[in-house]
């Protein structure tokens, strides 16, 4: 392990990206992720890389497409309203099967919303967000350390499966400072025979494209892509289990709310309530199996999230509605307190298990 | 027997899908001849637009990426920044470049991106069946200006070369046409210079090619060429709008 340094989450993402071999970054200022761009603006010229402040998020994601099509590692970052603008480009990245890393440091919405932390882009991130049938790999860090280590992971998965990996963070993750070890480990390299490197007049031209005018061909392409997604669902699910061995109540939470929930769970345990937590680290692929198994042992689930109830739908699907799932949420930039989560655990413990 | 005329090496054998009389074929050929003459086929990467030329990737032998509508200059920026030794060009129509992609066009010029933009202006959206374009002439009838473009309600056409000539970062901006032999020859000279500029690291070059759309203009190919001369060129005068290196030399 390398030495630990004290960093903001946004800076940890930026430095981790560079250590992962990303020499090209395109961004546009938006709170609360601007530190990523500021960090890149300082560092990239020193390593001979590209930092470019685009005229819009739309342009930034299309510059990402340009670099990705040449086979090099590339990243962009933004916050909720900016990610909506990138949705077009993300759909094209999916349609062209191009690898890239997109960071969303979420803030409250809809519209211009606010600048305080939120998790209300869950649907947008895990269901696609742009037009067409596709998924992004979605990673949800819950510490500054994970902001770095999941960035390494995101680049690896993007290249491995030739698709977009998204870091779905939130304003707290972006802004808070914690000690972090920046050790990329061994960086895997992947063959990219499709990359636009110039034919050198030695091979047939490579074409990066998402247009298929023959419906049979487009259908086939979608089928192939979903075969790939199936493999990812089988092989790349990541989650953390906390005190689940004897848990009767299962809290499900990701990112900053998982940390709040952990405190509440500790207090509930001190009161003798058998409660544990499953924290999805990959939001897509969603940890369906571990949740479904937990439904056989637990009497109820609580989804703690900073949205009006988005992940809760995936939990209900994962456990096939075998047990009740309750929502504990704050929105608009408000973060639930441990006391609020504890009160929900208490309530479910008293009345839960019955629909 | 000696060969006096042949297909440029930079073009594939694919059959062009363009309508009879459309001048895209001529412009493709000119770009391909320039690529051949400069010997850059192996290191050229093209960016295709959305519009009639979307399938340009099938017609050129170089590597190609297909961009979202209007985003070709942003995609080209990424490709060029990834490897500045490559020759990167976009090939875009008027709807793509001058409406939905106006920001990408202006800002890639302002950033002095060392790329070449081939801008085909035929005053109409061809691929979607003939709607009003940003460059549709006042009074011109299209599917979405059925009573003629009324400048009182929908405003005026965008003159791209005039606009970009005021952008400091742009190096070379010229408007050409392909409606007669003389103009075709001039067009080739301009396109060649726009690629040469990039080879020499001179920055952003854009060549606007005034083109035809017989199908959606509702004219014979011959009549369309006349319409270019009579209607288009008075509104879109040909010539060099900016050439910072020629200006420097003149000083």
- Tell me the per-residue pLDDT of B68-78, one tens digit each, with 9 for 90 and over: 999 999 999 99
pLDDT for residue A355 is more than 60: no
Structure tokens given for A352: 């839960």
Rounded to the nearest angstrom, the gap between the alpha carbon of residue A159 and the centroid of all alpha carbons in its chain is 16
Which candidate, A54, A206, B51, A15, places its Cα nearest to that of A63? A54
pLDDT for residue A1 is more than 90: no
Q: How much is the ipTM here?
A: 0.97
- Domain co-membership, A228 together with A252: no
Residue in chain A nearest B47 by alpha carbon: A66
Distance from CA of A218 to the nearest CA of B (A): 16
Which candidate, A53, A92, A85, A39, places its Cα nearest to that of A69? A92
Residues of B in contact with A66 (CB under 8 A): 47, 65, 74-82
pLDDT tier at A351 (50, 70, 90 boundaries)? confident
- Domain co-membership, A272 together with A230: no
A76 pairs with which residues across the strands?
A: A26, A102
Distance from CA of A13 to the nearest CA of B (A): 21
- Domain co-membership, A276 together with A306: yes
pLDDT for residue B251 is more than 90: no
pLDDT at A2: 72
Residues of A in contact with B64 (CB under 8 A): 196, 205-209
- Domain co-membership, A186 together with A264: no
- Domain co-membership, A229 together with A247: no
pLDDT tier at A168 (50, 70, 90 boundaries)? very high
pLDDT tier at A184 (50, 70, 90 boundaries)? confident
Task: Decide if A69 and B86 are in contact by the 8 Å CB cutoff.
Answer: no
- Domain co-membership, A195 together with A255: no
Which member of A59, A89, A198 has the closest CB to residue B44? A198
Q: Is residue A214 part of a domain?
A: no
What is d(CA A313, CA A150) in angstroms, rounded to the nearest whole number? 25
Structure tokens given for A321: 């509605």
**Residue A126: domain span:** 4-199+222-235
Can you give A22-49 as a three-state secondary structure string?
Answer: CCEEEECCCCCCHHHHHHHHHHHHHHCC
Which member of B45, B66, B82 has the closest CB to residue A24? B82
Residues of A in contact with B65 (CB under 8 A): 65-66, 69, 96, 196, 207-209
- Domain co-membership, A182 together with A318: no
Interface test with A, best of B56, B57, B74 (most A CBs within 10 A): B74
Which member of B42, B77, B81 has the closest CB to residue A198? B42
What is the pLDDT averaged over residues A266-271? 98
In this predicted model, what pLDDT tens digit does every residue of B14-23 receive, in sequence order?
Answer: 999 999 999 9
pLDDT for residue A328 is more than 90: yes
Q: What is the CATH number of the domain that holds A121?
A: 3.40.50.970
Task: Decide if B82 and A205 are in contact by the 8 Å CB cutoff.
Answer: no
In this predicted model, what pLDDT tens digit does every residue of A100-142 receive, in sequence order?
Answer: 999 999 999 999 999 999 999 999 999 989 999 999 999 999 9
Task: Decide if B62 and A63 are in contact by the 8 Å CB cutoff.
Answer: no
Task: Decide if B78 and A55 are in contact by the 8 Å CB cutoff.
Answer: no
Task: Specify the higher pLDDT residue, B168 or A185.
Answer: B168
Query: For B236, which DSSP code?
Result: S
Q: Is residue A210 part of a domain?
A: no
- Asked whether the beta carbons of B77 and A66 are under 8 A apart, the reply is yes
pLDDT at A335: 97
What is d(CA A275, CA A269) in angstroms, rounded to the nearest whole number? 7
Task: Decide if B75 and A58 are in contact by the 8 Å CB cutoff.
Answer: no
Residue B192 sits at the chain A interface (C-beta within 8 Å): no
What is d(CA B119, CA A95) in angstroms, rounded to the nearest whole number? 26
Q: Is residue A207 part of a domain?
A: no
Q: Is residue A61 part of a domain?
A: yes
Q: Is residue A211 part of a domain?
A: no
Q: Is residue A213 part of a domain?
A: no
pLDDT for residue A292 is more than 70: yes
Which candidate, B28, B33, B77, places its Cα nearest to that of B56? B28
Last residue of a domain, one of A189, A213, A235: A235
Distance from CA of A90 to the nearest CA of B (A): 11
- Asked whether the beta carbons of B231 and B157 are under 8 A apart, the reply is no
In this predicted model, what pLDDT tens digit does every residue of B104-126 receive, in sequence order?
Answer: 999 999 999 999 999 999 999 99
* pLDDT mean across residues, chain A: 97
pLDDT at A297: 96
- Domain co-membership, A314 together with A229: no
- Domain co-membership, A31 together with A126: yes
SS3 B43: helix
How would you classify residue B155: left for phi > 0, otherwise alpha for psi between -120 and 50, otherwise beta? left
Portion 195-234 of B in contact with A at CB < 8 A: none
In this predicted model, what pLDDT tens digit does every residue of A11-44 receive, in sequence order?
Answer: 999 999 999 999 999 999 999 999 999 999 999 9
pLDDT at B249: 83
Residue B57 sits at the chain A interface (C-beta within 8 Å): yes
Residue in chain B nearest A201 by alpha carbon: B42
pLDDT tier at A354 (50, 70, 90 boundaries)? low
pLDDT for residue B51 is more than 60: yes
Q: Is residue A43 part of a domain?
A: yes
Domain B24-250 has CATH 3.40.50.1100: no
Q: What is the CATH number of the domain that holds A250?
A: 3.40.50.920
Which member of A50, A205, A210 has the closest CB to residue B64? A205
Which member of A59, A66, A89 has the closest CB to residue B79? A66
What is the pLDDT averaged over residues A331-347? 97
Residue B91 sits at the chain A interface (C-beta within 8 Å): no
pLDDT at A353: 62
Which member of A66, A207, A211 has the closest CB to residue B78? A66
Number of domains in chain A: 2
Catalogue the E-assigned strands of A10-163: 24-27, 50-53, 74-78, 100-106, 137-139
pLDDT at B248: 83
pLDDT tier at A242 (50, 70, 90 boundaries)? very high
H or E element in which residue A275 lies: strand A275-280
Distance from CA of B31 to the nearest CA of A (A): 17
pLDDT tier at B1 (50, 70, 90 boundaries)? confident
The long-range contacts involving A307-316, CB below 8 angstroms and separated by at least 24 positions, are A307/A118, A307/A119, A307/A120, A307/A122, A307/A331, A308/A120, A310/A119, A310/A120, A310/A122, A310/A123, A311/A119, A311/A122, A311/A252, A311/A254, A311/A280, A311/A283, A314/A126, A314/A286, A315/A252, A315/A291
Task: Decide if A89 and B68 are in contact by the 8 Å CB cutoff.
Answer: yes
- Domain co-membership, A179 together with A311: no
- Domain co-membership, A177 together with A35: yes
pLDDT tier at A281 (50, 70, 90 boundaries)? very high
Least reliable range by pLDDT among A1-15, A269-283, B155-169, B184-198:
A1-15
Residue B45 sits at the chain A interface (C-beta within 8 Å): yes
In this predicted model, what pLDDT tens digit does every residue of A69-91 receive, in sequence order?
Answer: 999 999 999 999 999 999 999 99
Q: What percent of chain B has pLDDT over 70?
A: 100
**Which sequence spans correspond to the domains of chain B?**
24-250
* pLDDT mean across residues, chain B: 97
Portion 195-254 of A in contact with B at CB < 8 A: 196-202, 205-211
SS3 B113: coil
Last residue of a domain, one of A210, A235, A260: A235
**How are strands ordered across the β-sheet holding B170-177?**
A207-208, B63-66, B44-48, B87-93, B116-121, B204-210, B170-177, B239-243
What is the pLDDT averaged over residues B159-180? 98
- Domain co-membership, A188 together with A244: no
Residue B35 sits at the chain A interface (C-beta within 8 Å): no
Structure tokens given for A228: 């790939």
CB atoms closer than 10 angstroms to residue B144: 15
SS3 content of chain B, % helix, strand, coil (to 5): 45, 20, 40
Task: Decide if B66 and A211 are in contact by the 8 Å CB cutoff.
Answer: yes
């Amino acid at each position: 392990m390398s030495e630990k340094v004290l960093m903001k989450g946004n800076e940890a993402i930026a430095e981790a990206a560079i250590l992962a071999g990303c020499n090209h970054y395109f961004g546009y200022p938006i709170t609360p992720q601007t530190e990523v761009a500021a960090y890149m603006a300082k560092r990239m010229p020193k390593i001979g890389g590209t930092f470019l402040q685009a005229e819009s998020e739309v342009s930034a994601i299309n510059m990402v497409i340009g670099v990705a099509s040449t086979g090099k590692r590339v990243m962009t970052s933004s916050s909720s309203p900016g990610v909506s603008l990138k949705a077009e480009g993300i759909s094209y990245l999916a349609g062209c099967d191009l690898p890239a890393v997109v960071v969303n440091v979420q803030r409250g919405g809809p519209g211009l919303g606010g600048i305080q932390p939120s998790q209300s882009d869950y649907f947008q991130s895990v269901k696609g967000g742009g037009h067409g049938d596709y998924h992004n790999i979605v990673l949800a860090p819950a510490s500054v350390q994970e902001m770095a280590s999941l960035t390494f992971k995101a680049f690896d998965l993007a290249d491995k499966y030739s698709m977009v990996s998204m870091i779905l963070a939130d304003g707290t993750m972006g802004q808070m400072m914690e000690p972090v070890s920046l050790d990329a480990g061994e960086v895997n390299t992947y063959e990219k025979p499709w990359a636009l490197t110039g034919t050198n007049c030695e091979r047939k031209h490579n074409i990066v494209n998402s247009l298929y005018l023959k419906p049979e061909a487009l259908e086939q392409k979608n089928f192939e892509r979903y075969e790939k997604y199936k493999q990812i669902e089988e092989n790349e699910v990541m989650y953390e289990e906390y005190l689940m061995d004897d848990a009767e109540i299962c809290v499900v939470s990701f990112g900053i709310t998982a940390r709040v929930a952990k405190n509440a769970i500790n207090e509930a345990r001190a009161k003798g309530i058998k409660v544990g937590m499953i924290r999805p680290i990959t939001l897509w692929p969603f940890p369906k199996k571990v949740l479904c198994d937990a439904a056989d042992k637990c009497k109820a689930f609580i989804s703690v999230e900073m949205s009006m109830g988005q992940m809760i739908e995936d939990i209900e699907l994962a456990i096939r509605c075998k047990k009740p799932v309750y929502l504990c949420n704050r929105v608009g930039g408000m973060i639930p307190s441990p006391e609020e989560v504890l009160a929900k655990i208490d309530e479910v413990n008293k009345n839960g298990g019955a629909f | 027997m000696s060969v006096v005329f042949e297909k440029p090496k930079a073009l594939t054998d694919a059959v062009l899908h363009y309508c009879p009389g459309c001048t895209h074929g001529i412009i493709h050929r000119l770009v391909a001849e320039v690529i051949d003459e400069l010997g850059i086929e192996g290191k050229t990467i093209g960016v295709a637009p959305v519009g009639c030329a979307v399938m340009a990737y099938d017609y050129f032998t170089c590597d190609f990426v297909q961009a979202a509508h209007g985003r070709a200059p942003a995609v080209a920026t990424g490709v060029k920044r990834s490897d500045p030794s490559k020759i990167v060009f976009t090939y875009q129509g008027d709807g793509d470049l001058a409406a939905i992609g106006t920001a990408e066009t202006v800002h890639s010029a302002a950033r002095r991106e060392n790329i070449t933009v081939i801008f085909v202006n035929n005053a109409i959206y061809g691929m979607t069946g003939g709607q009003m374009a940003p460059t549709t002439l006042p009074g011109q009838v299209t599917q979405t200006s059925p009573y003629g473009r009324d400048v009182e309600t929908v405003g005026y056409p965008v003159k791209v070369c005039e606009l970009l000539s005021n952008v400091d970062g742009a190096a070379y901006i010229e408007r050409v046409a392909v409606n007669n032999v003389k103009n075709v020859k001039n067009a080739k000279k301009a396109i060649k210079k726009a690629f040469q500029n990039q080879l020499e690291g001179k920055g952003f070059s854009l060549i606007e090619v005034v083109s035809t759309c017989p199908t959606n203009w509702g004219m014979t190919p011959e009549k369309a060429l006349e319409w270019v001369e009579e209607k288009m060129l008075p509104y879109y005068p040909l010539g060099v709008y900016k050439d910072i290196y020629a200006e420097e030399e003149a000083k």
